Amino acid sequence: MTGLPTPQGRSNSFDYVPFRAVDGFVLDPACCTARGLGLAGASSSRVVICRLGGRFVLARTGTGDFDDAEIRHVVHGCGQLYRDVSGKPSIDDFARDVVQLVRSDACRGCPDLPTCCGCHEPAPRSYFLEDEAWLRSFIAALAGDVLDVGLGQVPYLADAGAAIQEGVLRLRGIDPDPAAARAAGALGVPVHVGEVETFDAPAGSFDHAVAIRSLNHFRDPGRALAVLAHVLRPGGTLTLIESLALPLVRTRRQAELSHQTAAGGFQHLRNWDSTPVLALLADLPFQVTRHRPIGPDTCDQWIVQARRRA
């Protein structure tokens, strides 16, 4: 009736299970053990090398939810890989449940990197927590009429608390999930229960809109962004943050447990990076003011900010 596509869930993570430790591995572009193992010219990321606790371990993904090109894009192109340290079947606290693995320094200057699976080791610091710190300060500085699209449990409400109390910030939300809407309502945030694609508000009625990790849940991102262009005033801002599919190094037992508990429980309708979003924004009255793509030294989320043109 709405003309929106029927949702078809997509898995948003895939597992790598360690299957072999390689003693005496030499990680050096001049004489790397990866070449002898046939990993340097494979152009595949189905097997990756991880340096974990001082040992070099090979880990493999057998996922059928993602094809080779998608796996290569996420792990090699975007440099994303995480070790599940949760001991739980599912990840629900990104800051604690995973350790990011980044491309080893030796690989960064290696001529074989374009075709090698590459070696990965624990990141020197948490890129996710750096993004969180930025997001919290961004939210704390918001003022005016703000629309939180797909606000869920409103995890950043405390950061906006002072501005709301002072009357500087008037926060409203949209979420089609009645439970999320009830929870946000109980916290004092007025929520429209429904999808952003069909949200009806007067033109220019918001100063800012944010969609934090919700765009890959929208049935029709193009229509959603057109609605946001309509409800934002000229000069108003749009902030989008969203994550890619999550590649997880985990034990076979953890992988099996997670598959049992996740049966039918897809979270994303797609796993877009920022590229298609920039293409959609280019056809709308938005000027992109910041683009932070996903890369080897970021966590698995991209950030796009845009200004509503007059």
- Would you tell me which residues interact with ligand SF4 (CB under 6 A)? 27, 29, 32, 34-35, 40, 49, 106-107, 110, 112-113, 116, 118-119
Query: In angstroms, how far is the first alpha carbon of the chain from the final one?
Result: 32
Neighbouring CB atoms inside 10 A of 264's CB total 5
Question: By CB under 6 A, is residue 213 in contact with ligand SAM?
Answer: yes
Q: Which of 145, 195, 207, 273 binds ligand SAM (CB under 6 A)?
A: 195
Cα 180 off chain centre by: 20
Question: By CB under 6 A, is residue 177 in contact with ligand SAM?
Answer: yes
Token pair for 28: 């050096």
Nearest to 301 by CA among 106, 130, 125: 130
Distance CA 167, CA 270 (A): 37
Q: Which of 29, 77, 144, 155 binds ligand SAM (CB under 6 A)?
A: 155
Which lies closer to ligand SF4 via its Cβ, residue 48 or residue 209? 48
| DSSP letter for each residue of 160-217 | HHHHHHTTSEEEEEEES-HHHHHHHHHTT--EEES-GGG----TT-EEEEEEES-GGG
Least distance from C-beta 183 to ligand SAM, angstroms? 10
Interface with ligand SAM in residues 23-42 (CB under 6 A): none
Segment lying near ligand SAM (by CB under 6 A), choices 46-54, 56-64, 144-152, 160-168: 144-152
Question: By CB under 6 A, is residue 152 in contact with ligand SAM?
Answer: yes
Token pair for 269: 């309708």
Q: Which does 34 bind (CB under 5 to 8 A by kind): ligand SF4, ligand SAM, none?
A: ligand SF4
Distance CA 192, CA 149 (A): 10
Question: By CB under 6 A, is residue 175 in contact with ligand SAM?
Answer: yes
> Residue count at the site for ligand SAM (CB under 6 A)?
19
Find out whether 275 and 103 touch, Cβ atoms under 8 Å: no
Least distance from C-beta 26 to ligand SF4, angstroms? 8
Interface contacts to ligand SAM, rule CB under 6 A = 149-152, 155, 174-177, 180, 195-197, 212-214, 217-219
